[in-house]
């Protein structure tokens, strides 16, 4: 499928992890993709892989804790043409302590900054360009954590991801009349190397086996699972879907 021929997409924090998989998926379907990351080496590696495959992937070093850098990067992309798709991928628990009482105010601020503020700033900078074009697809990266709580990331992360779902509802209502949709994807644990390390640190082998047994499809998610769902929300054919939060967890949430 080449659903994104002639479309451009911006994916934040996509030098590695899920964002990178999403970027390659959209590029393989024809999008001109821009990826941001603060890690120049990760971006260089992604750019090399994209070039080898003949994919249109542009990279830019952006530290998303810097609102001015976000605004400048959006302006630079908009100067080159439309921004049709925005994937607010940046986020994470930053491996702050699991226990609520063990989390500090500084942990709260950091986790809210990376999961919420950076996405708000990006969205605020991008939307005027989408409004001018009369078209936009915004996909926020929520989590199973924000829907049901988490087995391994703490309350700050859970609250931040819940905030992204709430933000999605309002952006969808406010900008629907302008041709812009906004949806959230809520993945369960996706076994990237980083998440495998975190699970190994925070859950015993027995606990991990027990959790796997509660997932009806009996497997964890993959980067490709996430990329396929985001590609749907990002497509023109998803134009009647907005304000939605999609569970992507193998049915895990149906089972205690």
Ligand X SMILES: NC(=O)c1ccc[n+]([C@@H]2O[C@H](COP(=O)([O-])OP(=O)(O)OC[C@H]3O[C@@H](n4cnc5c(N)ncnc54)[C@H](O)[C@@H]3O)[C@@H](O)[C@H]2O)c1
CB of 45 to ligand X, least distance (A): 10
Packing angle of the helix pair 105-112, 155-175 (nearest 10 deg): 30
* Element spanning 33, H or E: strand 32-37
- CA dihedral 168→97→217→238, nearest 10 degrees, is 10
Determine, following the binding rule CB under 6 A, whether residue 73 of this chain makes contact with ligand X.
no
Angle at 57 between CA 53 and CA 63, to 5 degrees: 135
Nearer to ligand X, 152 or 175 (CB): 152
* Structure tokens that stand for 160 in this block: 């931040």
Distances in Å between the Cα of 77 and the Cα atoms of 8, 24, 133, 165 are 10, 18, 14, 26
Name the β-bridge partners of 121: none
Q: Which stretch binds ligand X (CB under 6 A): 8-16, 48-56, 127-135, 234-242?
A: 8-16
Q: Could you give the CA distance from residue 93 to residue 198 in angstroms, rounded to a whole number?
A: 10
Q: Could you give the CA distance from residue 63 to residue 66 in angstroms, rounded to a whole number?
A: 6
Q: Could you give the CA distance from residue 244 to residue 163 in angstroms, rounded to a whole number?
A: 14
Residues 140-199 that bind ligand X (CB under 6 A): 141, 143, 187, 189-190, 192, 194-195
Q: Which of 65, 131, 169, 241 binds ligand X (CB under 6 A)?
A: 65
- Judge contact between 149 and 197, C-beta under 8 A: no
Determine, following the binding rule CB under 6 A, whether residue 46 of this chain makes contact with ligand X.
no
Q: Which stretch binds ligand X (CB under 6 A): 58-66, 72-80, 207-215, 237-245?
A: 58-66
Determine, following the binding rule CB under 6 A, whether residue 112 of this chain makes contact with ligand X.
no
Q: Which stretch binds ligand X (CB under 6 A): 63-71, 79-87, 129-137, 175-183?
A: 63-71
Catalytic annotation present for 157? yes
> Number of residues in contact with ligand X, rule: CB under 6 A?
26
CB of 59 to ligand X, least distance (A): 11
Nearer to ligand X, 5 or 109 (CB): 109
Q: Which residues contact 163 (CB under 8 A, 6 or more apart)?
A: 112, 115, 116, 146
Catalytic residue among 4, 152, 157, 175: 157
Phi and psi dihedrals of 87, rounded to 5? Answer: -110, 110
Determine, following the binding rule CB under 6 A, whether residue 17 of this chain makes contact with ligand X.
yes
Determine, following the binding rule CB under 6 A, whether residue 253 of this chain makes contact with ligand X.
no
Nearer to ligand X, 31 or 90 (CB): 90
CB of 211 to ligand X, least distance (A): 13
Which residues contact ligand X (rule: CB under 6 A)? 13, 15-19, 37-39, 42, 62-65, 89-92, 141, 143, 187, 189-190, 192, 194-195
The set of catalytic residues is 157
């Amino acid at each position: 499928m080449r659903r994104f021929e002639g479309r451009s997409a911006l994916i934040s924090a996509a030098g590695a992890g899920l964002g990178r998989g999403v970027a390659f998926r959209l590029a393989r379907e024809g999008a001109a993709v821009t990826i941001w990351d603060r890690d120049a080496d990760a971006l260089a590696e992604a750019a090399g892989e994209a070039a080898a495959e003949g994919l249109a992937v542009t990279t830019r070093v952006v530290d998303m804790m810097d609102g001015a850098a976000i605004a400048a990067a959006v302006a630079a992309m908009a100067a080159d043409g439309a921004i049709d798709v925005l994937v607010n991928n940046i986020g994470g628990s930053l491996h702050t302590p699991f226990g609520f009482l063990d989390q500090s105010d500084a942990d709260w601020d950091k986790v809210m900054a990376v999961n919420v503020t950076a996405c708000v700033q990006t969205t605020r900078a991008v939307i005027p360009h989408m409004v001018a074009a009369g078209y936009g697809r915004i996909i926020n990266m929520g989590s199973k954590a924000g829907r049901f709580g988490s087995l391994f990331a703490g309350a700050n992360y859970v609250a931040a991801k819940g905030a992204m779902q709430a933000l999605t509802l309002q952006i969808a209502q406010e900008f629907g009349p302008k041709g812009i949709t906004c949806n959230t994807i809520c993945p369960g644990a996706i076994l990237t190397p980083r998440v495998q390390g975190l699970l190994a640190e925070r859950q015993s082998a027995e606990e991990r086996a027990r959790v796997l047994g509660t997932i009806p499809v009996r497997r964890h998610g993959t980067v490709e699972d996430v990329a396929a769902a985001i590609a749907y929300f990002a497509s023109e054919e998803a134009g009647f879907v907005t304000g939605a939060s999609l569970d992507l967890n193998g049915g895990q949430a149906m089972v205690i």
